[in-house]
Structure 1
Amino acid sequence: MSSKREREYERRRLEKWQERQARARARRRHRQRLGLGIGSAVAVVAIVVVLVISLNRDGGKAAAAPSATPSGQATISTAARTGNGGVLPDKSLAQNRTWTAKVITNKGDITMTLDGAAAPQAVANFVTLAGQGYFDSTKCHRLVTSGIYVLQCGDPTATGTGGPGYSWGPIENAPADNVYKAGTVAMARQSGNGSSMGSQFFLVYADSTIPSDSAGGYTVFGHITSGQDVLKAIADAGTVTVGTTTAPASDVIIEGVETQ
């Protein structure tokens, strides 16, 4: 990377950090006006339960390849931060309309449309968390390049077990044919549990057939409109093995999410 590009990159990171700080200050002032008494620091939840979720279907044994299903966080979350005060946003916030979301990453921007009519709970959840800065500075923790072709993000712990402090269901807008087209944006969940969705989502970079399980399919709530090349470049860069799954070879960090 040239020095000019490095300076531009650092300038952009500083601007995004300043924007996030400004949003955080605005949220704190708003909460104080409502008498909620929330301090300026984000409360850290003491982790007293460690839940390990198997990412394959063989009882948690190590596998040569990652499981061909996107996995979600535990019903009891081990996240170091909560979203929306640990309360599921009301699905009416999706306003029965199409939203635009720009996911700003250190690898480039990914823009997508969100379908608030077909998947109101998923969209209300995503838009609310994005507006609160929940996804800021989080790592996309899983990349699958065999069997299915997805990048999984939205876990603030980057372990595959983190979430916003709540879980929800049922599944919305799952494809009847189990085919998730390139560009699909969908919610991750636990195998066999349609009420285990939280904050984790996955982006499909090549057509993938993901069989339904006992709970059904996976909630599709959006589609990528630009930045598919960014996603493909992340996949082409390869993976590293982390536990029983695979992650991007080079860290993919969500710097912020803008919605409108």
Structure 2
Amino acid sequence: MAVDRRGREMRRHISQIEARRELKRAQEKRRRKDSTVAGIAAAATLALAVLLQAVWFSSDPTAAEIDALEESPGVTETAEPNSANIPDPSIAEGKVFEGTLSTSIGDIGVELDGNVAPQAVAVFSSLAEEGFFEGKTCHRLTTAKSMGVLQCGSLNGDGVGDPAYQWGPVENTPADGLYPAGSIAVARGASTDSNGTQFFIVYKDSQIPQNTGGYTIMGSVTSGLDAVQEVAEAGVEGGGEDGAPATPVTIDSLTLQ
């Protein structure tokens, strides 16, 4: 009887040990599964952030969307090399170009300064000389309290950049993110090497987030800023603070000397 009792106790003890081992194996399996799920979730979050950034920049974000995107974690980007047909900055170094942006709302006097942004001025003076801007539109107006710009120069008038014509770097960006009224700056996508043919005119003092590297200020408006301000007063087509201007703006030419 004593032997049988000890046998039962031994078997019960062994069963308890096996049960604990099984529980430990189950816990380890669950932890591995949780780690895998967490890894998948993290990867999905990163992919979503990258996708959001790509879509956001190609569709011209609002000021509120700027803040939302820049708070997104895990955003990465890969800069592409400059296009082969980008003019050398040496053609604008030490030079100041003055001229006129002729538009459907009147003439706007401009000055592009190759002393502070030689690469940008080299690009835009070359595009002007080629007549690139003739017939192009100003497709985007922002009327937010913190940011007021009129953006122009899209290849097809839809705000999408030309992937075959991208360049960098970003130059002459304000450290405090304040773009004074009358500034002429280069629009770009997510990468600091994604400048293209688009530019924007700042019609009122604007605070623009700099977390993605800022935007090159290449010059300023010397006359006619009031015409842009009148477009801003007319507002955005369909209402809102960001979209096509209710007063259409077409560029006739950009001439520089």
Which bracket does the TM-score occupy, shorter chain normalised?
Answer: 0.5 to 0.7
Contact residue 97 and residue 116 of structure 1 kept, 8 A: yes
State yes or no: 1:150 paired with 2:149. yes
Q: Letter of the aligned partner of 1:225 in structure 2?
A: T
Note the alpha carbon deviations across 1:115-135, whole angstroms, 9 max, x for none.
101100000000000110101
Looking at structure 1, the residues matched to 54 and 134 of structure 2 have their Cα atoms a distance apart, in angstroms, of: 24
1:213-252 map, 5 Å: 213-214=211-212, 216-240=213-237, 245-252=242-249
What corresponds to 1:165 in structure 2? Answer: 164
**Matched-pair contact (CA < 8 Å) for 1:86–1:164:** no
How many Å apart are 1:64 and its aligned residue?
8.5
Assess, with a 3 A threshold, how the Cα gap between structure 1 residues 233 and 66 changes in structure 2: closer, same or farther: farther
Query: Would you say the 8 A contact 2:187–2:200 is kept in 1?
Result: yes
Task: Quickly say closer, same or farther: Cα 1:132–1:240, change in 2 above 3 A.
Answer: same
Aligned equivalents of 1:145 and 1:232: distance in 2?
10
In the alignment, structure 2 segments of 5+ residues that lack a partner are 1-52, 68-78
1:101, distance to aligned residue in structure 2 (A) = 2.5
**Alignment match, 2:55:** 54
Determine the C-alpha separation between the residues in 2 that align with 1:92 and 1:188. 22
Distance 1:129 1:66 in 2: 32
Q: Alignment partner of 2:193: what SS?
A: coil
Report the Cα distance in structure 2 between the residues aligned to 1:251 and 1:66, rounded to whole angstroms. 24
CA distance in 1, matches of 2:62, 2:148: 16
- Aligned residue number for residue 183 of structure 1: 182
- Contact 1:103 1:110 (C-alpha < 8 Å) held by counterparts: yes
CA shift, 1:155, in A, is 0.6
Which residue, 119, 122, 132 being the options, matches 1:121? Answer: 119
Q: How far 1:164 sits from its partner (Å)?
A: 7.7
8 Å contact kept, 1:164–1:199: no
1:93 aligns with 2:83: no
Shift of 1:168: 0.8
What is the SS of the residue equivalent to 1:250? Answer: coil
Question: Aligned to 1:248, what secondary structure does the other structure show?
Answer: coil
Aligned length: 191
Following TM superposition, the consecutive aligned residue runs of length 4 or more in structure 1 with deviations greater than 6 angstroms are: 62-66
* Inter-partner Cα distance in structure 2 for 1:195 and 1:179: 21
Determine the structure 1 residue equivalent to 2:139: 141
SS of 2:232's equivalent? Answer: helix
Distance in 1 (alpha carbons) for counterparts of 2:246 and 2:169 = 34
Structure 1 residue 176, shift from structure 2 partner: 1.2
> Contact 1:178 / 1:211 at 8 angstroms: preserved in 2?
yes
1:143 aligns to what SS in structure 2?
strand
- Determine which structure has more spread, i.e. the larger CA radius of gyration: 2
Do the aligned partners of residues 117 and 64 (structure 1) sit closer, same or farther apart at CA in structure 2, a change above 3 Å counting?
A: closer
Q: Higher helix fraction: Structure 1 or Structure 2?
A: 2
Cα distance, 1:245 vs. partner? 4.7
Scaled by the length of structure 2, the TM-score of the pair is: 0.67
The one-letter amino acid paired with 1:129 is L
Query: How many percent of aligned residue pairs carry the same amino acid?
Result: 42
CA contact (8 A) 1:56 1:67 kept: no
**Shift in alpha-carbon separation, 1:236–1:131, aligned structure 2, 3 A:** same
User: Counterpart of 1:104?
Assistant: 102
- Normalising to structure 1: TM-score of the pair? 0.66
Q: Which one of 193, 196, 199 corresponds to residue 198 of structure 1? A: 196
- What is the CA–CA distance in structure 1 between the aligned matches of 2:63 and 2:218, rounded to whole Å? 27
What SS does the aligned partner of 1:55 have?
A: helix
What are the Cα deviations for residues 125-154 of structure 1, in whole angstroms up to 9, with x where unaligned?
A: 000001101010011010000131000001
RMSD: 3.0
